[in-house]
Amino acid sequence: MKKFISLAVILAAQFVLLQPVLSVQAESAHKLHVSGAYIRTMPPGRTTTAGFLTIANHGTADCKVISASSPLSNRIEFHEHLHSDGMMRMRPVDSGIVLPAGEAVIFKPGGLHIMLFNIEQALVGGDTTQLQFNTDHCGSVEFSAEVRSLKAAPMAKKHH
Ligand SMILES: [Cu+2]
């Protein structure tokens, strides 16, 4: 009788093991990769700052960043700089930021950048903060951004 039960258990175990494994490979949520993200410290009395980063779309479809969120700010916009009449102007990009498949988009000083408004706390150089980009159909990507001092880095000591 004991033997019979053991055999039954083994058969049952085999049955379970032989069940075809459903390989439901969830579509990768890591199509978007952010690197080099930082925001600037603010001069005293200011509540607005800018952020910069590189975002690569490793997916096979274009997508569009439609919004950004941060614990520091309740209002984040995407801006670009335009030269017009010899003046540098910032213009909000309301249509979202297109991320072409297989390409990287760079947010950099003097070009495309993130603007964070209504910041109520001091930003300290060397700290990090979380940011999130939300896209139309590539999901969301969360990343950390370094807080970088507005002041230029001290000159490296010259070697003679
Ligand atoms: Cu701006």
Ligand 1 centre from 88 Cα, in Å?
11
As assigned by CATH, the class of the 32-148 domain is mainly beta
* All structural domains of the chain with their residue ranges: 32-148
pLDDT of residue 71: 97
pLDDT of residue 57: 97
Ligand 1 centre from 77 Cα, in Å?
8
Ligand 1 centre from 40 Cα, in Å?
12
How many residues are recorded in the chain? 160
Ligand 1 centre from 16 Cα, in Å?
59
Give the chain's end-to-end CA distance (angstroms, integer).
Answer: 91
Q: Is 113 exposed, middle or buried (0-12, 13-18, 19+ CB in 10 A)?
A: buried
- How much is the mean pLDDT over the chain? 84
The model's pLDDT over 84-127, given as tens digits with 9 standing for 90+, comes to 788 888 899 989 999 999 999 999 999 999 999 999 999 999 99
Low pLDDT (below 50) residues in the chain: 16-28
pLDDT of residue 27: 45
pLDDT of residue 70: 97
Cα distances (Å, whole numbers) of residue 70 to 33, 108, 120: 17, 19, 12
